[in-house]
């Protein structure tokens, strides 16, 4: 992928992940970047050979044209919503960026951290459901885990602040 930046955004097609995606497109991504949507599916038994192969390494990088196609995405058992597709299609056109998707299977916390090295990513934007301190302590937080264990700068879109020592613009 050369000298371009690889900006990752964790997506699960929830309102929080769409907010994180919008924030990344509006504030971080610039012309020539690769915007890589990283999604994590739950572990499970997958009958197709491709799914069994990819369960360990994650899917290949999927171009926007493929993950916009419902027929192709059916084999991944994934259905990106129209709003997410609109955000990335518009960004690809207007900002002249390349949009890709990578799918992992397993624990979201571990797989998001793993994606940073395996893709590799220069930074990651992740949504936050805005849990209070008590709920976060009881339920845990994917975003907290990733922020504390990631090998690259991570932006929690709820805070919308990058690590101060880095200037991505």
Please write the tens of the pLDDT for every residue from 125-166.
Answer: 988 755 555 544 444 577 777 777 767 767 776 544 443 334
Q: Tell me the average pLDDT across 55-80.
A: 88
Most confident of 44-48, 72-76, 100-104, 130-134: 100-104
* Gap between the Cα atoms of 69 and 72, Å rounded: 5
* Gap between the Cα atoms of 70 and 76, Å rounded: 10
CATH code (residue 17): 3.40.50.620
Q: Tell me the average pLDDT across 67-74.
A: 90
pTM for the model stands at 0.81
Please determine, for residue 17, whether its predicted confidence score (pLDDT) is greater than 70: yes
Per the structure, the complete domain to which residue 87 belongs is given by 6-156
pLDDT at 156: 73
Q: Say if 165 falls within a structural domain.
A: no
Better pLDDT: 61 or 153: 61
Q: Say if 27 falls within a structural domain.
A: yes
Q: Say if 63 falls within a structural domain.
A: yes
Q: Say if 163 falls within a structural domain.
A: no
Task: Quote the number of domains for the chain.
Answer: 1
SS3 142: helix
């Amino acid at each position: 992928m050369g000298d371009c930046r690889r900006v990752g955004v964790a997506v699960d097609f929830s309102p929080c992940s769409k907010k994180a995606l919008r924030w990344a497109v509006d504030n971080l991504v610039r012309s020539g970047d690769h915007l890589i949507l990283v999604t994590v599916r739950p572990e499970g038994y997958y009958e197709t050979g491709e799914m069994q192969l990819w369960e360990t390494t994650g899917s290949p990088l999927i171009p926007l044209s493929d993950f916009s196609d419902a027929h192709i995405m059916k084999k991944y058992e994934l259905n990106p919503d129209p709003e997410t597709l609109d955000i990335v299609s518009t960004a690809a056109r207007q900002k002249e960026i390349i949009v890709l998707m990578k799918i992992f299977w397993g624990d979201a916390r571990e797989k998001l951290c793993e994606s940073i090295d395996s893709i590799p990513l220069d930074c990651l934007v992740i949504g936050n459901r805005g849990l209070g301190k008590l709920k976060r302590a009881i339920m845990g937080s994917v975003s907290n885990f990733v922020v504390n264990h990631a090998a690259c700068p991570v932006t929690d879109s709820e805070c919308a602040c990058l690590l101060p020592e880095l200037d991505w613009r």
